[in-house]
Amino acid sequence: MKQVVGVYTGSADILQQQWKAVEYLKDEIGLNLIILGMGPAGDRWSPSPEVAAKAPFKLSVSQEKDGLNDFLAQAHRRDLDVWICISLYAEMDSGPNYADLMFRDLEGNVFSPVSQYGSGWAWSWCPSKESIRAYNEALLYDLAKRYDVDGFTLTHQRYSPIGHNISNLFGCGCNECEREASKLGYDFGSMRNSMLGLLRKLKKIDRNKLSVMTELSPGFLDFFYYLGADQGLLDWLNFRCDLIQSGMKRYYEAARRARDNLAVGSDNFPASFSMISGHRYRDFEDNADFLSPLLSHIVIFCLFNFMELATKIKEWNQGISEEQVLQCTYRAFGYDKFNLPSTLSALLEHPRLPSSDYSETKLPLGEIVGDEILKAKSFVSGKKPMYGIFAAHSKLNPVDVEKRALGMKRANVDGIILQVGPLPGPIDNIAAIKRVFHR
Ligand SMILES: [Zn+2]
């Protein structure tokens, strides 16, 4: 199997001017895949007018020739595959403009995604909406028929992380989700009661018992037993994974119906938090041609979660210390081994955390990336290839990039996908990747 070396970049028009940078990456690190980003509403290229008419949100369809097929022909002449990356539900900037599509909590409320430390871009759409699902299916079929692309990778095909707002775990609670739950064999009313009960318990934590628990280093289930969660919690986590997967299956089949020579998949939430974000890794082996753990945003996807939990639990419960909550939750998610700070102010480091991976931090992000990719590999049977996504942009120095690359190599991944910023990315960081993989 060929080792994939991919890079994310902007639209084809921009790339037309970038062949020199692409050739450089090809020579240095064996680049063989370009992934063009695309919002839900299209890019320089758009769905056909018939498909655009199905979109449940505003689309601006360009009438001009987009040049994408010309670009694809040039890429293929250079032995490069091209995928399109499409955003689906979580973190939609335009979320608040579409009340009918919005993600709702278990009492039906729309809530602001901006947590005290969050990055504030986490409005979500509900993953059940038939109007969005039917449009996504039609979009993939249409793009696959009209453009000679080699694949699609879906993104934001999940629930938003609890780091943006803890309510992201307690939803979506809309009527359509309730109907979907029933179709998938779950009792929505019972799960709603369980989860609202858990929320009440989180607001009434016994300080003395928490002290004892902190001493005992509780695992994930210990932590939830301690809180008094019942079976509904596990049903809820499984239901959310099943729901995301039922969408994945539809999109996968739609794209493959158009053409069977496509690679179709999705990025995957970091393994430690995947179950609470709607991703059960093994399911993707049935409904995708590859897996690609998204490890370029460790601060947002993992560390914000601890910060939001500590902030909310402290706010809800007088006298509970953030040290206790942080220690308990680090342990519950397997992060105690990283010796992370015991206070929010030390975790915060800067008045406003950057929204992505960066070198300035004292936090061991490189080690976390290395462990998350190993965990991801252990979560699957291995029947589909896995490509690890990591950052190598200008906010990272070569030492930190090398750490991430070594982590990927240790996990024996089938390929890597880079986020480098403007192509070709920082030369020293590219050299660090070359050193690791050509050693
Ligand atoms: Zn919903």
List the chain pLDDT tens, one digit each, 439 residues: 789 999 999 876 677 778 999 999 999 999 999 999 876 656 667 788 899 999 998 887 776 778 889 899 999 999 999 999 999 988 877 777 888 999 999 999 998 777 676 555 678 999 999 999 999 999 999 999 999 999 999 999 999 999 889 999 999 999 999 999 999 999 999 999 999 999 999 999 988 988 888 888 888 888 888 888 888 999 999 999 999 999 999 999 999 999 999 999 999 999 999 999 999 999 999 999 999 999 999 998 999 999 999 999 999 999 999 999 999 999 999 999 999 999 998 888 776 666 678 888 889 999 999 999 999 999 999 999 999 999 999 999 999 999 999 999 999 999 999 999 999 999 999 999 999 998 6
Q: Ligand 1 centroid vs 310 CA: distance in angstroms?
A: 27
Q: Ligand 1 centroid vs 261 CA: distance in angstroms?
A: 33
C-alpha count within 13 angstroms, C-beta hemisphere, residue 259: 17
Peptide bond into 424 cis (omega under 30): yes
Peptide bond into 302 cis (omega under 30): no
**Cα distance between residue 117 and residue 334, in whole Å:** 22
Q: Ligand 1 centroid vs 292 CA: distance in angstroms?
A: 26
Q: Ligand 1 centroid vs 53 CA: distance in angstroms?
A: 23
Domain ranges of the chain: 4-202+232-304+354-437
pTM: 0.95
CB contact at 8 A, 118 and 304: yes
pLDDT of res. 10 = 83
β-pair partners for 294? 389
Q: Where are the alpha helices (DSSP H) in 259-384?
A: 281-287, 298, 304-316, 322-332, 344-348, 365-378
Q: Which helix (H) or strand (E) holds 419?
A: strand 415-419
pLDDT of res. 423 = 93
Nearest Cα to 370, choosing from 355, 390, 387?
A: 390
Q: Ligand 1 centroid vs 240 CA: distance in angstroms?
A: 11
Q: Ligand 1 centroid vs 416 CA: distance in angstroms?
A: 34
Q: Ligand 1 centroid vs 375 CA: distance in angstroms?
A: 30
Tokens of 12: 């084809």
Tokens of 330: 């680090």
CATH 3.40.190.10 is right for the domain spanning 4-202+232-304+354-437: no
Q: Ligand 1 centroid vs 117 CA: distance in angstroms?
A: 26
Burial of residue 58 (number of CB atoms within 10 Å: 0-12, 13-18, 19+): exposed
Q: Ligand 1 centroid vs 165 CA: distance in angstroms?
A: 17
**Cα distance between residue 142 and residue 146, in whole Å:** 6
Nearest Cα to 223, choosing from 315, 313, 341, 331?
A: 331
Q: Ligand 1 centroid vs 400 CA: distance in angstroms?
A: 39
Q: Residue length, the chain? A: 439
CB contact at 8 A, 245 and 154: no
Q: Ligand 1 centroid vs 323 CA: distance in angstroms?
A: 35
CA distances from 312 to 63, 198, 212, 272 (A): 49, 14, 20, 21
Tokens of 326: 């942080």
Nearest Cα to 392, choosing from 406, 371, 374, 413?
A: 406
Sheet hosting strand 387-391, strand order edge to edge: 290-293, 263-268, 151-155, 81-87, 33-38, 4-9, 415-419, 387-391
pLDDT of res. 13 = 67
Q: Ligand 1 centroid vs 172 CA: distance in angstroms?
A: 4
CB contact at 8 A, 189 and 121: no
Interior/surface letters 140-151, b for 16+ CB within 10 angstroms, e for the rest = bbbbbebbebbb
Q: Ligand 1 centroid vs 175 CA: distance in angstroms?
A: 7
Q: Ligand 1 centroid vs 16 CA: distance in angstroms?
A: 40
pLDDT of res. 325 = 93
pLDDT of res. 91 = 83
pLDDT of res. 46 = 78
